[in-house]
Amino acid sequence: MKNKNIQTATIGGGCFWCTEAVFQEVRGIETIVSGYTGGTVPGKPTYREICSGLTGHAEVIQLTFDADIISFEEILVIFMATHDPTTLNRQGADVGTQYRSVIFYHNETQQQIAVAVVKQLAEYYDAPIVTEVSAAETFHEAEAEHQDYYRRNTQQGYCNYVITPKLTKLRKLFADKLK
C-alpha cells in the first residue's frame, strides 16, 4: 500500500458550515474539522463568543488532504471560487470579522502558494480580493453540533438557501475534482 502525502490546510470563507460542505465533496480530502482560529482572546472560544465578533477568531475549517491527489493550490482555487473573496468581513448576510475570507498557511511554501493564487485570481473579480493570508495559529475545534452540519441538516432553511447553491456551483466548475 502506498504511503499518502498528507498535508494540512486551514481556510475560512464565511460560515464554516458552507466551507465544510464544499470540501466534503472534493477528492483527496481526508478529514475536515470546523473550528476557530486567528483570535486574540486566550483559551478555547465558544461558538457564542465567536458570534459576538469580539474574540477576533474566524470560523474556519481545518482539513487534511492527500497532496498526491489534490494540491494545496487546487484547494485554494476551489475555495476562492466557492465564496466571495471580495467582501470584507462578510459572506452574504453573515457579517463580522468571524466571517472574513482567510487562508492560514502552515509553512512557507503554503504562504507562497496562497499569495500567488490570490494574485492570479484577482483578474477574475470586479472588486479587489480582500482574502487575508496569515500564519496558522492555534486551532480550536468547534462544538459537535457544528461538525458535518450540512449533511445532518440539508432541509434546514440556511442550508437550502446558502449552501445548496454553493454545491451546485462547485459541481459545475470542478466536476473533475469531486468524489
The yes-or-no answer on residue 15 being catalytic is yes
Strands (E), 27-157: 29-37, 58-66, 90-91, 94-95, 101-105, 132-135, 140-141
What grid cell was written down for 156? 434546514
**Pairing of the two strands 90-91 and 101-105:** unpaired
Phi and psi, residue 42, nearest 5°: -70, 160
Q: Out of 15, 18, 51, 159, pick the active-site residue.
A: 15
DSSP 162: I
* 66/5 Cα distance (integer angstroms): 5
DSSP structural state of residue 178:
B
Catalytic (active-site) positions = 15
